[in-house]
């Protein structure tokens, strides 16, 4: 038996404890709804050190929840690997990285090595005693952009609270299929795990977690649009599912991109053969964690960080003639 500790956030307010745990334990195959409810009722879950046995218990933001996971084998310790990192900002307390697409952020059974964490452990080998890298939020393997990393447990907790507050700003760029016909808007949809495939997220009115994405249209041409998306909540696959649900799936998304109205691949509906070819061969979802702004938990300075548009997205924007002034690299 192993234990897991998590810190609740704004998105957990008013949500039953079993659903909170399932949201935070998406990497644990054994965390089905029935089993999670049994763990709570058997006294294997504690909030701020006090055991709870009611599935309907609600946690407050910042609560420390500990759960004993029976029958879950601990993963092997991560190994430091000498891999270069693109550091955008670093001080004694935290750092921010520009993650390339194709890199897994944290080791899993299928990706025990070659992850961002393996590289961070090497980067941290000269840190003072007690320092260890801890990711504050995650990006999907096929999403590029900013990842914030704490150097101590205390800074990690403070950063979690800051980045999940309305004081922070987290902006993404997304190239989507469809002519977005409004300049800006808000997508409010509950999201939950697909009952038949827990790796997929679906819109779920019954037991989904409240989720909010703000968007601004930066450009549109033909059958494509460029959006800036700002996360208000931070659910798994939130932007990808929200945009797809509005009829604007992200270019190259291997999970949530559906065929066009003709039933054919959406790229085949483009009149420009060069653009159609660029879309057909685009290797991942065209989603980039572009900018983040937050108050430093120690110095109280306001940090504003930006990860420049990566080459693959830049080439796609140029092919689509979708390049707002000053967006791509000079």
SS3 of residue 241 by DSSP:
helix
Which one-letter DSSP state was computed for residue 4?
E
| Residue ranges of domains in the chain, CATH in brackets | 2-69 (3.10.290.10), 75-163 (3.30.2350.10), 170-287 (3.30.2350.10)
Position 3 scores a pLDDT of 77
Q: pLDDT value at position 29?
A: 66
Q: Are strands 144-150 and 94-99 parallel, antiparallel or unpaired?
A: antiparallel
In the prediction, which pLDDT does 74 show? Answer: 56
φ, ψ of residue 306 in degrees (nearest 5): -140, 135
Told to judge if 63 belongs to the known catalytic residues of this protein, a careful annotator would answer no
Q: Is there a contact between 144 and 285 (Cβ–Cβ < 8 Å)?
A: no
Question: How distant is the alpha carbon of residue 262 from its chain centre?
Answer: 32
Q: How far apart are CA 218 and CA 291, in angstroms?
A: 15
Residue 316's SS3 state is helix
Catalytic residue (choose from 140, 171, 253, 312) = 140
CA separation for the pair 60, 13 (Å, rounded)? 6
- Specify whether the CB–CB gap between 256 and 241 falls below 8 A: yes
Residue 3: how many CB atoms within 10 A of its CB?
12
Beta strands in 70-211 (DSSP E): 87-90, 94-99, 134-136, 144-150, 169-177, 184-188, 191-194, 197-203
Q: What residues contact residue 229 under an 8 Å CB cut-off, 6+ apart?
A: 171, 172, 173, 174, 213, 214, 215, 239, 243
Least Cα distance to 76 among 37, 31, 113, 129 occurs for 113
Instruction: Report the pLDDT value the prediction gives residue 309, as an integer from 0 to 100.
Output: 95
Tell me what pLDDT residue 33 has. 74
The mean pLDDT values, 10 residues at a time, for the chain of 330 residues are: 77 79 75 82 88 87 84 69 96 97 83 88 91 89 97 89 91 96 95 81 83 95 94 92 96 92 88 93 96 96 96 94 70
| Phi and psi, residue 206, nearest 5° | -80, -55
């Amino acid at each position: 038996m192993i234990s897991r500790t998590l810190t609740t956030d704004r998105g957990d307010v008013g949500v039953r404890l079993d659903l909170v745990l399932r949201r935070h334990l998406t990497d644990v195959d054994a965390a089905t709804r029935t089993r999670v409810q049994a763990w709570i009722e058997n006294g294997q879950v504690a909030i701020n050190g006090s055991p709870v046995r009611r599935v309907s218990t609600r946690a407050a933001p910042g609560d420390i929840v500990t759960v004993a996971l029976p029958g879950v084998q601990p993963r092997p310790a991560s190994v430091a690997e000498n891999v270069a990192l693109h550091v955008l900002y670093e001080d004694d307390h935290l750092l921010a990285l520009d993650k390339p697409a194709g890199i897994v952020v944290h080791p899993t059974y299928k990706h025990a090595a070659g992850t961002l964490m393996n590289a961070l452990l090497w980067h941290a080998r000269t840190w003072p005693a007690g320092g260890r890298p801890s990711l504050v939020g995650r990006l999907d393997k096929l999403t590029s952009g900013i990842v914030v990393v704490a150097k101590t447990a205390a800074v990690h907790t403070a950063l979690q609270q800051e980045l999940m507050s309305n004081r922070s700003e987290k902006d993404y760029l997304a190239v989507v299929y469809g002519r977005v016909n409004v300049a800006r808007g808000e997508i409010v949809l509950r999201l939950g795990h697909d009952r038949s495939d827990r790796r997929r997220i679906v819109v779920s009115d019954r037991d989904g977690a409240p989720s909010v994405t703000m968007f601004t249209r930066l450009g549109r041409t033909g059958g494509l649009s460029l959006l800036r998306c700002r996360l208000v909540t931070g659910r798994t696959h939130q932007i990808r599912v929200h945009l797809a649900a509005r009829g604007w799936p992200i270019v190259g998304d291997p999970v949530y991109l559906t065929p066009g109205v003709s039933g054919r691949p959406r790229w085949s509906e483009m009149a420009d053969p060069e653009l159609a070819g660029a879309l057909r061969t685009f290797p991942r979802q065209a989603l980039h964690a572009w900018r983040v702004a937050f108050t430093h938990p120690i110095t109280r300075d306001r940090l504003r960080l930006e990860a420049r548009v990566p080459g693959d997205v830049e080439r796609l924007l140029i092919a689509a003639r979708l390049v707002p002034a000053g967006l791509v690299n000079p």
